[in-house]
Structure 1
């Protein structure tokens, strides 16, 4: 294993994105293939949710397990260096996430958090998303007009 310099680690960490991440793209592609349509990164909403379903008043956050302190194996990892810094950082992220979800819920939004570790089983994830969104997408197609005749 190659020893990593502080400069290299700093550069590596600077490359971590906050939106359009691989887990987020996976969820977006899955939802789109299921027929759902959404807006991205709702700037006017607390926490800028990754996916916004305004008509349903629902939002989805796609969180990386490490960055947001999930209680899975990946989220429980503690870096070998600067542990105090990382534990404090993840703690602040969790507090911020809690505040954002609370604000959204108080404003009448339903919130779902999809964790990076939950992406492994596509079928289970698709079922969970459909359940959260209240059933299959409505495509906005006009309903056939009633002829007024009874058969």
Structure 2
């Protein structure tokens, strides 16, 4: 792929309101969960925030955030040095944001893009998130 074609393709990649994020929001809402979106005052601007539960949810794309052992987390064959630097920076930022949120007393959960493809399993995982933390075993 040529640089202008690659650039045009990459410009279409969305940062919020992605399909996986919409699926998670739809499932959470169906389970009775109420939430806020993209709170700018929190580290990392979590995709979904449930203030009453002190829960911050990130919906990560497997490719961009490097979901381990996932076939969707492939590395491009060209410019591997560039991509590896970019991926490493993404991972470091994700870890820093999660740490910062935890220091503020928030529970942090990550839902991966590939997990949104199996609705029943996703729904079961989300049900567990909606249980107050003191009831987790």
TM-score when scaled to structure 1?
Answer: 0.83
Q: 1:57 aligns with which of 51, 54, 59?
A: 54
Q: Give distance in 1, aligned partners of 2:35 and 2:83.
A: 33
Instruction: Specify the alignment match of 1:73 in structure 2.
Output: 71
Offset at residue 120 of structure 1 (A): 2.1
Contact kept, 8 Å, 1:58 with 1:133, in 2: the verdict is no
| Structure (1 or 2) with the greater helix fraction | 2
Q: Give distance in 1, aligned partners of 2:32 and 2:58.
A: 19
Instruction: Specify the alignment match of 2:28 in structure 1.
Output: 31
Q: After superposition, give the CA deviation of every residue in 1:52-98 in whole Å (9 maximum; x if it has no partner).
A: 000110011000001001111111x1102111111110110000000
Q: 1:89 aligns with which of 83, 86, 89?
A: 86
Contact kept, 8 Å, 2:46 with 2:58, in 1: the verdict is yes
Kindly name which structure, 1 or 2, has the bigger radius of gyration based on alpha carbons: 1
Q: How does 1:122-133 map to 2 (within 5 A)?
A: 122-133=119-130
Instruction: Specify the alignment match of 2:18 in structure 1.
Output: 21
16-25 vs 119-128, which deviates more? 119-128
Q: Give distance in 1, aligned partners of 2:20 and 2:79.
A: 26
Offset at residue 12 of structure 1 (A): 0.8
Q: Give distance in 2, aligned partners of 1:19 and 1:120.
A: 18
The answer to whether residue 103 in structure 2 is matched with residue 106 in structure 1 is yes
Q: Give distance in 1, aligned partners of 2:81 and 2:50.
A: 38
Q: Give distance in 2, aligned partners of 1:38 and 1:120.
A: 22
Instruction: Specify the alignment match of 2:8 in structure 1.
Output: 11
